[in-house]
Structure 1
Amino acid sequence: ITPASMTIVFLSITIGTIMTMSSSNWLMAWIGLELNMLAILPIISKPKTTRASEATTKYFLTQAIASAMMLLSSTINVWQTGNWNILELKNKFSTTIMALSLMMKMGAAPIHFWLPEVLQGTTLQTALLITTWQKIAPVTLMYMISNNIQPTILVSAGILSMIIGGLGGINQTQLRKMMAYSSINNLGWTITIMAFSPNMALMNICTYIIMTTPIFLMMTNMST
């Protein structure tokens, strides 16, 4: 990949995230997430290895399914309410599907299976990108609809993520998988807090990103 191509890719990732965060319309938010997802695929597949190709495929399929669920949810809501506004997600079925799709995009339990496998097949820099920047857009959307999501769903998924993240990382010898389970564990806390104090949940994810970034950078320096 040429430097110009990488510039376009990173610009697309940034624009996609900002578009999703600043959007009040489900369709624009979905487009932002799609742009973000498609832009990171060349980065994951940059190492010309079988494992990288496998990670790219797993990431694409998982994110594509989550995007389809998200589009289905917003379409059902529009059918019921006639409104694309993100804050107007009133249909309970739509809200549940949307919550699950965002959890899948973030890598939270019970739809976390892809995250350790994808991180294991990527470079440390890409793993850093997936566990930090790629979470910002879905977490923002979950923050925006948190008042409409049933607290039981958030707390259940959060506690499950904590348990899986905590237990999954215990027996790991692979650093990237360990960081993946750490990410799942932190998402559990974020989602649980989201049910009670969305602002505190944002603070939690920001703290995680700030603390995780130097760890990945240190691991990168150690491996070179």
Structure 2
Amino acid sequence: QGVTMNTALLISTWQKLAPLTLLYATHSHLNHTVLLLLGLASAIIGGWAGLNQTQARTIMAFSSIAHMGWLITAISLNPSLTTLTMMMYMAITTATFLPLATTMKNLTDIGTLWPLSPTALTTTLITLTSLGGLPPLTGFMPKWLILKELSSADLPLLATLL
């Protein structure tokens, strides 16, 4: 909570590239069951911990943890899908952080944004919803493709839990 939104954006996006590159280089030598369980744990912890938060930075931090779980799950199934998921995540996260950096610190600030800039509020709400992966928005596509890969790999329980 003590960092600026620009720093939080950097941590949420750019700093995922180094560990993801390391996973790309070593994923064929890693135990896929461990990767899948790690991805599931990260997605569940990030999702559950972010539910009762009101601070924008805290919500985005837990969202970042949950998305890393999706990325770890994807890399164990299909590295190309991981690239697509990461590119989509970086684009949506950047679009989400830009209005947040100038207008709000917590969710109660959303109510004061409408009279000042209805367009900024609408954009913020749509990008937050897309980041959550709700259909028919852009953020749903990578998650749907990961779930499809899990189903194709005969992992329906993991697909259901994720």
- Kindly indicate whether residue 26 of structure 2 is the aligned counterpart of residue 145 of structure 1: yes
Pairing 1:133–2:133 present = no
CA offset digits 1:112-148 (Å, max 9, x no partner): xxxxxxxx22100000001111111211111111111
Aligned to 1:199: 80
User: What is the match of residue 170 of structure 1?
Assistant: 51
Q: Which residue of 2 is the match for residue 157 of structure 1?
A: 38
C-alpha distance in structure 2 between counterparts of 1:129 and 1:194, whole Å: 22
Deviation at 1:223, TM superposition (A): 3.9
- In 1, the alpha carbon distance for the partners of 2:99 and 2:13 equals 15
Gaps of 5+ in 2: 106-162
C-alpha separation between the residues in 2 aligned to 1:197 and 1:123?
34
**Residues in 1 aligned to 2:84 and 2:25: alpha-carbon distance in whole angstroms:** 14
Shift of 1:221: 1.9
Counterpart for residue 210 of structure 1: 91
Q: Secondary structure at the match of 1:135?
A: helix
* Corresponding residue number in structure 2 for 1:123: 4
> Identical aligned pairs, as a percentage?
44
Alignment of 1:1-224 (within 5 A): 120-223=1-104
Per-residue deviation, residues 96-115 of structure 1 (Å, max 9, x unmatched): xxxxxxxxxxxxxxxxxxxx
Question: Matched residues in 1 for 2:39 and 2:97: separation?
Answer: 24
> Cα RMSD over matched residues?
1.3
Asked if 1 retains the 8 angstrom alpha-carbon contact of 2:8 and 2:57, the reply is: yes
> Would you say the 8 A contact 2:56–2:104 is kept in 1?
no
TM-score if structure 1 supplies the norm length? 0.45
Query: Which gives a bigger RCO, structure 1 or 2 (Cα 8 Å, sep 6+)?
Result: 2
Q: Which amino acid aligns with 2:75?
A: M
Scaled by the length of structure 2, the TM-score of the pair is 0.62
d(CA) in 2 for partners of 1:161 and 1:124?
23
Q: Runs ≥4 in structure 1, deviation > 4 angstroms?
A: none
**Post-superposition shift, 1:198?**
1.1
Q: Quick one: distance in 1 between partners of 2:73 and 2:104?
A: 35
Matched positions, count:
105
Once the two structures are superposed, residues 30-54 of structure 1 have per-residue CA deviations (whole angstroms, 9 ceiling, x without a partner) of xxxxxxxxxxxxxxxxxxxxxxxxx
Which stretches in structure 1 are left out of the alignment for 5+ residues? 1-119
Q: Displacement, 1:153?
A: 1.1
Secondary structure, counterpart of 1:195 in structure 2: helix
